[in-house]
Every structure is written in C-alpha cells, then in structure tokens.
C-alpha cells in the first residue's frame, strides 16, 4: 500500500511565556512589575478551512468609510448585513431608504459612490456586493462569485 504525505493542519510555533503585570505599579510609576510566576506554554497555529466563514476584507473598505459618512454608511451597512448567500440584495432604492431611515437621495448617492469604487454592481432592483469585501463559503466560492459579479449588471451599464 503506498504511503501518502498528509499535510498537518497544526503548526508548532515554539514556547511562549506569559506574565501578569501589576497594574497599580504600571499606572503610578510606569514601572513594569510582574506578579506571581510566569506561565510557559507551547504555541501553535491550527489552519482551518473557510467553509461557512464570511471573509471580510477591510482594506477595501477603509478608503470608502470616510467618503460614506453617517447616513450613507447606514445604507452600506444594511446592504452588507442583508445580502443573500449569493452576495445579492433584491431591493428598490425607495425600500432601501425606508429600511435605513434615510432619503432616497442619500441612497442614490451611496449607491453611486459604491459603484464608482467597484464595491457593488447593480441591475434594476438588485445590488451585488463585491466578493472580495465579504462572502460566505468555501475558498472556490469567491472565484465563482467574482465571475458572477463581473457579469452582474453588465447589461445595464
């Protein structure tokens, strides 16, 4: 019977030492004074599959947050929190404004900004979130959703 190499999902990182610091001494004098004995432990990292996890890439969002502001941010947050497993939200601008408690003009400006930044695609009555921002599922799901995102709304642009 042939032997197969099985990759381990746990990676040993070595030993770590943890100490408790006296907060009163730190606050009063800035001195770091340990309390009790140090704890030595093995450190390891366990790899896990992305199955079922939602991956959120904040690097894509930081640039947009400043531009969105308070009311527009409510709209963006609603879209991300209420999207389906296929990263789509079926909703009209009027209904989105109602759900977020903002004006339809705010929704329009937010959608326009998010489209310009490439974070969403739209078609009549539907919004799709860029899978690099957030998606749920296995590693191959992101590629599938990226393909769908590229095609989404291309008929109307």
Task: Give the model confidence (pLDDT) of 5-52 as tens digits.
Answer: 556 677 777 888 888 888 888 788 888 888 888 888 888 777 666 555
Name the average pLDDT for the chain: 80
User: What 3-state class would DSSP assign to 135?
Assistant: strand
Task: Please state, for a pLDDT cut of 70, what percent of the chain lies above it.
Answer: 78
Q: Tell me the CA distances in angstroms from 102 to 79, 107, 119, one per residue in order.
A: 14, 7, 21
Which contiguous run of DSSP H or E holds residue 88? Answer: strand 88-90
pLDDT digits (tens, 9 = 90+) for 114-133: 999 888 999 988 999 888 77
Q: CB 54: neighbour CB atoms within 10 A? A: 10
Contact 38, 17 (CB under 8 A): yes
Which two three-digit tokens encode residue 6?
Answer: 């099985």
């Amino acid at each position: 019977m042939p032997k197969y190499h099985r990759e381990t999902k746990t990676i040993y990182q070595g030993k770590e030492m943890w100490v408790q610091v006296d907060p009163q001494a730190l606050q009063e004098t800035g001195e770091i004074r340990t309390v009790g004995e140090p704890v030595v432990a093995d450190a390891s990292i366990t790899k896990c599959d992305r199955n079922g996890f939602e991956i959120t890439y904040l690097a894509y969002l930081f640039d947009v947050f400043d531009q969105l502001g308070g009311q527009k941010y409510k709209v963006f947050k609603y879209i991300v929190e209420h999207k389906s497993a296929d990263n789509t939200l079926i909703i009209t601008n009027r209904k989105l404004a109602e759900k977020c408690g903002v004006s339809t003009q705010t929704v329009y400006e937010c959608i326009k900004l998010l489209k310009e930044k490439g974070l969403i695609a739209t078609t009549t009555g539907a919004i799709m979130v860029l899978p690099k921002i957030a998606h749920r599922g296995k590693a191959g799901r992101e590629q599938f959703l990226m393909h769908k995102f590229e095609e989404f709304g291309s008929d109307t642009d």
